[in-house]
Amino acid sequence: MNEEFSIFNIFTMLGGLAFFLYGMNVMSTGLEKLTGGKLEVALKKMTSTKIMSILLGMVVTIAIQSSSAMTVMLVGFVNSGLMQLEETIAVCFGSNIGTTFTAWILCLGEVNGSAESGAAGFLLKCLDPEAFSPLIALVGIIMIMACKKNKKKDIGRILVGFAVLMTGMTLMKDSVAPLTASEDFRRLLTAFENPILGVLVGAAFTGIIQSSAGSIAILMAFSTGGGLTYGMALPIIMGCNIGTCVTALLSTFGVSKDAKRVAWIHIIIKIIGTMVLLPIIVILQKTGIMGFMDKPVGLIGISAMHTIFNIATTVMFLPFTRQLVWLARIVVPDGKGEPEEEKRTVTGLDIRLLKTPSVAVAACRTATIEMADITRETIVSALGLLVSKYDEKVAADVIEKEDIIDEYEDKINGYLVKLAKSSVTGADSRSVSKMMHCVGNFERISDHAVNLIESAQEMYEKGISFSPECVKEITVISEAITENINKAFDSYVLNNLTLAHKVEPLEEVVDNLSTELKNRHIRRLQNDECTVELGYIFQDILTNLERISDHCSNIAGCLIETDEKTNIHAYLHDVKENDETFRNEYRAYSESYFLKLGVVDSNK
């Protein structure tokens, strides 16, 4: 090649790197959105076997195309309390192996290099990503422009991202092609015969661009000239594996000690792995046992060394996970006089998870479910206190839980606001919408629980109590409220629309029960069977119970409106007027609860 290497070749190489990294980012975002967080969320439900954890770490990393993002995600999980430090180690091993997948895609082009003419040559040519990436880009653009469903658009973005990535790789290879004829460049390469220098250069460059895939891609581009040997490339590859830990390290500011240790375990694995394996390989090379290390390396050779290094470190450290934790605790000590862990964000809502929106959505849903469970416990305790002996501990527990629920609402709503600004899939967008509506209803139900406690406390302090007939009435309507709470909350937690549809008929029964009890109360007042003071308390209790049932209806209605894409007001009007199933369920609930009162529902 007669073309001389110039400053413009450097510009082209940097531009190619920019295309490569941008394509990686587009692919990663598209793949992450396409999975909808299912693979990442599975990390929180790891099995106890290390092999399964390794496999899952590989799959997730291949899916999101970034071991750095994988480690940052694990830092977030540990910081938020969703995972324990020990559970992340095997996942890190799998992530290290999974990140080599990109290099194997890039080396497909070398298969075509040995292709012969004829049908065999054509088939091998079809395996070359550079040959078919323009067609993939065209298909991707058509899908983005023509498809209406977000999933198909995401697939289109993945295809375009891959094509851009391959374009960047081609630009980098073409830009360094003139170096093959440069004696100065060949002399420069001899400096990399020093393995320590190779490790340092690989680590520094990868740390700067924060992408081991990008560094490996540039190394592959340089290898096309034939001047790079296995012995030169291997230390650089090891350095690239160390440098990719920088992203995880940068994500550990302001996190718990264990979260910091996740990143440091990642670094320790790479550094000790290099310190152990590199001297062994250099000795074997010098003794002639591994003579091929002096031969030129190609794309497949680089990919193979990248994969073998990460598999070797996994095999080396897998039996010593406890020792890795011990080393991490030495590097990041607890500190004298300090608590072992800094204060965690409520229910695992770590801002680092926002980098992978689908994971953030799942973490937020987990927090919302926890909030729902606490709210359910709170209201059930409050209802129980209305018809039983007043218990100061139960009352204090309800008030304490209401404060916790308030904190949940503040944290979840703040997190959802940040999350809403991210690019989320249609399914995740619906989940965010449901959370925004339901969180407020959970909090307001807990407020009503406190109101009920205050009514019970007022009667206790004044030494007054309801008549047995009144206690029976409150017991009946409380049972109906409890059933509706369970249906509404379970419909959200289980994402069960069948349960959601059962809430409104029971809510109608609760309203009618409340009306009946108010009428009975008026008759008692007229007959001097109840004091005005108790009457006010009774009215307050009924009002709070009605409001609780209304919020149950709001929760179920939000699920129906969001998932069935219907206007809730039109839906409610239609089912109450025309839906036989609704009327049958209403009659069944009405007969059950009004029978306990010894009357017939006049609205049935």
Q: Is residue 57 part of a domain?
A: yes
pLDDT computed for residue 343 by the predictor: 44
Question: Per-residue pLDDT tens for 555-601?
Answer: 998 998 888 777 777 777 777 777 788 888 888 888 888 888 776 65
CA 510 to each of CA 97, 490, 596: distance values in angstroms, whole numbers, following the listed order: 58, 19, 13
Indicate the average pLDDT of the chain: 81
Residues 371 and 314 grouped into a single domain: no
Q: Is residue 77 part of a domain?
A: yes
Question: Per-residue pLDDT tens for 269-303?
Answer: 999 999 999 898 888 888 878 778 888 888 888 88
pLDDT computed for residue 337 by the predictor: 42
Q: Examine the pLDDT at 1 and tell me if it is beyond 60.
A: no
pLDDT computed for residue 531 by the predictor: 80
pLDDT computed for residue 364 by the predictor: 87
Q: Which of 314, 331, 348 is the last residue of a domain?
A: 331
pLDDT computed for residue 228 by the predictor: 80
C-alpha to C-alpha distance for 134 and 138, rounded to whole angstroms: 6
Q: Examine the pLDDT at 4 and tell me if it is beyond 70.
A: no
Question: Per-residue pLDDT tens for 17-41?
Answer: 788 778 777 777 776 666 655 655 6
pLDDT computed for residue 348 by the predictor: 65
The number of distinct structural domains making up the chain is 2
What residues make up the domain containing 91? 7-331
Q: Is residue 344 part of a domain?
A: no
pLDDT computed for residue 439 by the predictor: 93
Between 148 and 423, the more confident residue is: 148
Residues 274 and 379 grouped into a single domain: no
pLDDT computed for residue 112 by the predictor: 54
pLDDT band for position 338 (cuts 50, 70, 90): very low
pLDDT computed for residue 335 by the predictor: 63
Q: Is residue 1 part of a domain?
A: no
Residues 193 and 322 grouped into a single domain: yes
Between 11-15, 332-336, 486-490, the lowest mean confidence (pLDDT) is in 332-336
Which string of b and e fits 201-231 if b means at least 16 CB within 10 Å?
bbbebbbebbbbbbbbbbbbbbbbbebbbbb
Q: Is the pTM of this model over 0.75?
A: no
pLDDT computed for residue 340 by the predictor: 44
Instruction: With CA atoms as reference, report the closest residue to 169 among 22, 16, 11.
Output: 16
pLDDT computed for residue 600 by the predictor: 62
Q: Is residue 604 part of a domain?
A: no
212's tokens: 């081991």
Residues 323 and 365 grouped into a single domain: no
Q: Examine the pLDDT at 470 and tell me if it is beyond 90.
A: no
pLDDT computed for residue 126 by the predictor: 57
Q: Is residue 346 part of a domain?
A: no
Between 107-121, 160-174, 397-411, 531-545, the lowest mean confidence (pLDDT) is in 107-121
Residues 436 and 325 grouped into a single domain: no
Residues 72 and 208 grouped into a single domain: yes
pLDDT computed for residue 525 by the predictor: 78
Inter-helix orientation angle 85-98/299-317, to 10°: 160
CATH (domain of 522)? 1.20.58.220
Q: Ranked by mean pLDDT, which of 287-301, 347-361, 421-435, 543-557 comes out on top?
A: 543-557
Side-chain-facing half-sphere of 54: CA atoms under 13 Å: 14
Between 40-44, 490-494, 501-505, 595-599, the lowest mean confidence (pLDDT) is in 40-44
What are the two backbone dihedrals, phi and then psi, of residue 599, each rounded to the nearest 5 degrees?
-135, 175
pLDDT band for position 140 (cuts 50, 70, 90): confident
Q: Is residue 219 part of a domain?
A: yes
Q: Examine the pLDDT at 45 and tell me if it is beyond 70.
A: no
308's tokens: 């073998």
Overall size of the chain counted in residues? 604
pLDDT computed for residue 246 by the predictor: 80
Residues 68 and 199 grouped into a single domain: yes
Question: Per-residue pLDDT tens for 120-132?
Answer: 555 555 556 666 7
Residues 57 and 144 grouped into a single domain: yes
Residues 427 and 567 grouped into a single domain: yes
Q: Examine the pLDDT at 153 and tell me if it is beyond 90.
A: no
Q: Examine the pLDDT at 449 and tell me if it is beyond 50.
A: yes
Q: Examine the pLDDT at 347 and tell me if it is beyond 60.
A: no
pLDDT computed for residue 128 by the predictor: 60
Between 506 and 70, the more confident residue is: 506
Residues 314 and 380 grouped into a single domain: no
Residues 273 and 370 grouped into a single domain: no
Between 62 and 414, the more confident residue is: 414
The arithmetic mean of pLDDT across residues 346-353, rounded, is 70
What are the two backbone dihedrals, phi and then psi, of residue 229, each rounded to the nearest 5 degrees?
-100, 170
Between 258 and 142, the more confident residue is: 142
Q: Is residue 564 part of a domain?
A: yes
The residue type found at 93 is F
pLDDT computed for residue 452 by the predictor: 93
Portion of the chain with pLDDT greater than 90, in percent: 18
C-alpha to C-alpha distance for 311 and 97, rounded to whole angstroms: 6
The residue type found at 116 is E
The arithmetic mean of pLDDT across residues 389-397, rounded, is 89
Residues 194 and 266 grouped into a single domain: yes
